[in-house]
Structure 1
Amino acid sequence: MIIPVQDLPLFKKKALQWASSFDAVCYLDSNGFNDPYGKFDTLIAIGVKDEVTARIGSAFGQLEAFRQNNPGWITGFFGYDLKNEIEQLSSANPDGLEFPDLYFFAPLHLIIIKGSQTEIISDEPEQVFGLINQQQPIIHQEQAAIVLKSRFSRQEYIDAVKGIQEHINRGDIYVTNFCQEFFAEQAKIDPLAIFTQLNAVSPNPFSTFFKWKGNYILGASPERFLAKRGTKLISQPIKGTAKRGTDTQTDELIKQQLRNHPKELQENVMIVDLVRNDLTRSAQQGTVKTEELFGIHSFQYVHQMISTVVCELQEGLSAIQAIKNTFPMGSMTGAPKISAMQLMEQYERSKRGVYSGAIGYLSPDNDFDLNVVIRTLLYNSAKRYLSFHAGSAITYHADPEKEYEECLLKAQAVMEVLGGTEQVDSL
């Protein structure tokens, strides 16, 4: 059912407010970014018609079976540690969140917004529209500042980077993504208010409000992991970050410096090569190509270097298998991929879980679009455990202190909505 909406921003706010009262909701917002591969501006999946929750072991197989039983719209997430199902890997670091490794649901109601057109897919679309319009604005209480802790002190992080660089010098790996967790225990937040503020402070093309039961994923991701459009697969890894300038002239200069920075170019091209290799597992022979190399894209706080790698999908290969063949995304692992993942399990001090995983949807035509879970706050309301990670690419030329500062830069928007960067303490 196509419905007329006069005030789209207000409708989206009311729709999310109504949706958040359900046990499961997936809200995906492109925030007006121009994306040639985007199917919609906003998607809201609400309520559970059917669902699958899986742990490592047979998660992809369970999702394949779930997909066959639910050929319409489904939304959900893949946790990073599904790597242990794909390769001979393990994870023994502490996990404060205890989220499942995979969760997908077929929604009772779906809202799709594209341009000025709004569509409600439901057995009772008129009732859904009426309930959304009846929503009264919620007055959110001001968020008390959250005192965050880090798994690393500044010096510990710098020492760890130096240790990783010794492995690079020995040729064990070429590049890796080293991540640290910021967390708070006994934290009480209003997830809807936090997401609304985060999306205002840092609007990004793969922003996400995801809820199932008392667990929340509040994301401001700028990165696409993998999308399928017809027979075409698209991956857009991000490697290369620079802080925005305070005025137009400085900002443009910083963009040019990023575009020509040897270290940033090096890490981007290494991950592009890794993604090209990953896509060959799902591609028709000879179809893998780089559509854009070293593209500079600007966001609220940072400029990012983004490349686009595409291929034609092998005939007969399922969408789920194509995802599995590329998971986890190269931008969050390193090269060689397996060696980098093994090494990071030794150096990192917490389980990544949903962080470094992917959130998105599969549509009735069997297309899909998945983001990379970065710049994202994770919250288990039952345990009152709040967590987010930040990471940076470590190469031979990396400056350990600058990599630490890059982590803080990437965490800036999340820290701001939680009460400011001055709240970060080390263990």
Structure 2
Amino acid sequence: MKTLQNIPDFKQKALHWANQFEVCCFLDSNNYKDDYSAYDFIIAAGVKHELKCETGKAFEHLKSFYNKHKQWIFGFFSYDLKNETEDLQSNNPDGLNFPDLYFFVPNFLIAFKEGKAEILLGEETVLEEIESFQPQKQKESETLQISQRLSKDQYIDKVEALRDHILRGNIYEVNFCQEFFAENAEIDPVQTFELLNTVSPTPFAGYFKIYNQYILSATPERFLCKRGSKLISQPIKGTAKRSLNPKEDEAIKSRLRNDIKEQAENVMIVDLVRHDLTKSAVKGSVKVDELFGIYSFPQVHQMISTISCELNPEIHFIDAIKNAFPMGSMTGAPKVKAMKLIEQYEVTKRGIYSGSFGCISPNGDFDFNVVIRSILYNTESKYLSFQVGGAITYQSDAASEYEECLLKASAILKVLRD
């Protein structure tokens, strides 16, 4: 272990150093205090072993991969693994073409906690290598022409059609998303992530490079975490814009806390998550630790609930991930019907968006986020994409939902247009 003098400087150098490798992953809590995070930030670089697979038996392959190596592994789950867990399809166009599942055992792994850096994999000299690393001066990213896949009128028509499904009793709630994209996009991924992480620091932020594909994420949401025998899920449902006026900001926060519509959206997803965790839990152990907690981020206040359970020792922890995937906050209720309607009404394949990335430790603990507020980029096709969405209930006002999408997109638009 080594005590670091200048943590921000080390963090920046470590990310640039890791980006030299064909595959790397950087997970950053941005100093948000959290009861379940194992480290403040962690960097994995280089590939010792890797697993890349499509929907079919991806979770089984991951189980075999973990059991074979019993080592730190980092990776992601695409939303479209839903087709493996349920009888579903994904036929919408995809400009990014990420694998459905990818995990790797890194050559180098550096973890940071309370001022100290620890080498978990690799030589001790790597810390000196990082501290002396000189990031290259990057050329300025060109201004991007960002387009929306749906016009405002198209979005409103689709939301009204989904409200009609709710009225007919087909669903109670559905998470409906739209894509923003740029073609022939040339950005510097590290520089863009650093800017995003400055504009919008969040507790589950991350940078994931897999060859020519990148996830640049400022997500505030945890999908699922395992600590010992405990599973924890923290879905977000409920968003309100921040104000620069402290008094007004507190009033907005209070309104969100007491908003009946937002509470209704949140509690539906809490019930769905409780149901998903029950599949993996010791009987009677599922509980809601916090309902309607209000947490503040630079652009928004969010309503976050925490649900936990004891993992049934007869169930492999990867099956527990599969049992809860995809996360209820990004689907709706009932879950399968909501996912069918998502496929019908959305016009872009979600892919990595509303999937998850994170890491699994040698002892089977893990922590995975929800891929929202994230830029996805393919350097080969020069295609850049990000999606935003929200929960549609019968109480939803389509125009207001559209404005909430723009609010959620604001940090990314600021980063890409500045």
What TM-score results when the alignment is normalised by the length of structure 2? 0.99
1:287-324 Cα offsets, whole Å, 9 max, x none, are: 00100000000001000000000000001211111100
1:2-23 Cα offsets, whole Å, 9 max, x none, are: 1232111101111111000001
1:181-227 Cα offsets, whole Å, 9 max, x none, are: 11111100000000000000000000010001111000000000000
**What is the CA–CA distance in structure 2 between the aligned matches of 1:184 and 1:213, rounded to whole Å?**
20
**What is the CA–CA distance in structure 1 between the aligned matches of 2:387 and 2:161, rounded to whole Å?**
20
| Aligned amino acid, residue 299 of structure 1 | F
Aligned residue in 2 for 1:395: 393
Cα deviation for residue 343 of structure 1 reads: 0.5
Give matches, 1:269-288, under 5 Å: 269-288=267-286
Cα deviation for residue 365 of structure 1 reads: 1.7
Partner of residue 373 from structure 1, selected from 371, 374, 379: 371
Cα deviation for residue 286 of structure 1 reads: 0.4
Aligned residue in 1 for 2:39: 40
Aligned residue in 1 for 2:405: 407
| Aligned amino acid, residue 186 of structure 2 | K
Aligned residue in 1 for 2:13: 14
Q: Is the 2:257–2:303 Cα contact (8 Å) retained in structure 1?
A: yes
1:144-163 Cα offsets, whole Å, 9 max, x none, are: 22111111001100111001
Cα deviation for residue 245 of structure 1 reads: 1.1
Unaligned runs of 5+ in 2: none
Partner of residue 356 from structure 1, selected from 354, 357, 382: 354
**What is the CA–CA distance in structure 2 between the aligned matches of 1:364 and 1:147, rounded to whole Å?**
44
Aligned residue in 2 for 1:300: 298
Cα deviation for residue 141 of structure 1 reads: 2.8
Aligned residue in 1 for 2:324: 326
| Aligned amino acid, residue 301 of structure 2 | H
Partner of residue 265 from structure 1, selected from 263, 266, 269: 263
Q: Is the 2:109–2:122 Cα contact (8 Å) retained in structure 1?
A: no
Aligned residue in 2 for 1:64: 63
Aligned residue in 2 for 1:245: 243
Q: Is the 2:177–2:389 Cα contact (8 Å) retained in structure 1?
A: yes
| Aligned amino acid, residue 51 of structure 1 | E
Aligned residue in 2 for 1:423: none
| Aligned amino acid, residue 69 of structure 2 | N
Aligned residue in 1 for 2:27: 28
1:247-297 Cα offsets, whole Å, 9 max, x none, are: 110000000110111110110000000000000000000000100000000
Q: Is the 2:2–2:116 Cα contact (8 Å) retained in structure 1?
A: yes
**What is the CA–CA distance in structure 2 between the aligned matches of 1:295 and 1:4, rounded to whole Å?**
34
1:303-355 Cα offsets, whole Å, 9 max, x none, are: 00000000000012111111001000000000000000000100000000000
| Aligned amino acid, residue 357 of structure 2 | I
Aligned residue in 2 for 1:117: 116
SS in 2 for 1:221: coil
Cα deviation for residue 112 of structure 1 reads: 0.2
**What is the CA–CA distance in structure 2 between the aligned matches of 1:272 and 1:375, rounded to whole Å?**
21
Q: Is the 1:199–1:207 Cα contact (8 Å) retained in structure 2?
A: yes
Aligned residue in 1 for 2:199: 201
Q: Is 1:217 aligned to residue 215 of structure 2?
A: yes
How many residue pairs were aligned?
Answer: 418
Aligned residue in 2 for 1:53: 52
SS in 1 for 2:129: helix
**What is the CA–CA distance in structure 2 between the aligned matches of 1:199 and 1:123, rounded to whole Å?**
27
Aligned residue in 2 for 1:132: 130
1:80-111 Cα offsets, whole Å, 9 max, x none, are: 00000010000110000011000000000100
Give matches, 1:156-167, under 5 Å: 156-167=154-165
**What is the CA–CA distance in structure 2 between the aligned matches of 1:289 and 1:114, rounded to whole Å?**
29
Q: Is the 1:3–1:120 Cα contact (8 Å) retained in structure 2?
A: no
Aligned residue in 1 for 2:96: 97
Aligned residue in 2 for 1:424: none
**What is the CA–CA distance in structure 2 between the aligned matches of 1:387 and 1:341, rounded to whole Å?**
21
Q: Which has the larger displacement, 150-159 or 140-149?
A: 140-149
Cα deviation for residue 406 of structure 1 reads: 0.7
What TM-score results when the alignment is normalised by the length of structure 1? 0.97
**What is the CA–CA distance in structure 1 between the aligned matches of 2:136 and 2:84, rounded to whole Å?**
43
Cα deviation for residue 140 of structure 1 reads: 2.8
Aligned residue in 2 for 1:78: 77
Identity %: 56
**What is the CA–CA distance in structure 1 between the aligned matches of 2:14 and 2:122, rounded to whole Å?**
17
Aligned residue in 1 for 2:86: 87
| Aligned amino acid, residue 46 of structure 1 | A
**What is the CA–CA distance in structure 1 between the aligned matches of 2:40 and 2:58, rounded to whole Å?**
30
Q: Is the 2:372–2:387 Cα contact (8 Å) retained in structure 1?
A: yes
SS in 1 for 2:218: strand
Unaligned runs of 5+ in 1: 421-427
Q: Is the 2:160–2:398 Cα contact (8 Å) retained in structure 1?
A: yes
**What is the CA–CA distance in structure 1 between the aligned matches of 2:342 and 2:35, rounded to whole Å?**
34
Q: Is the 1:94–1:351 Cα contact (8 Å) retained in structure 2?
A: yes
Aligned residue in 2 for 1:425: none
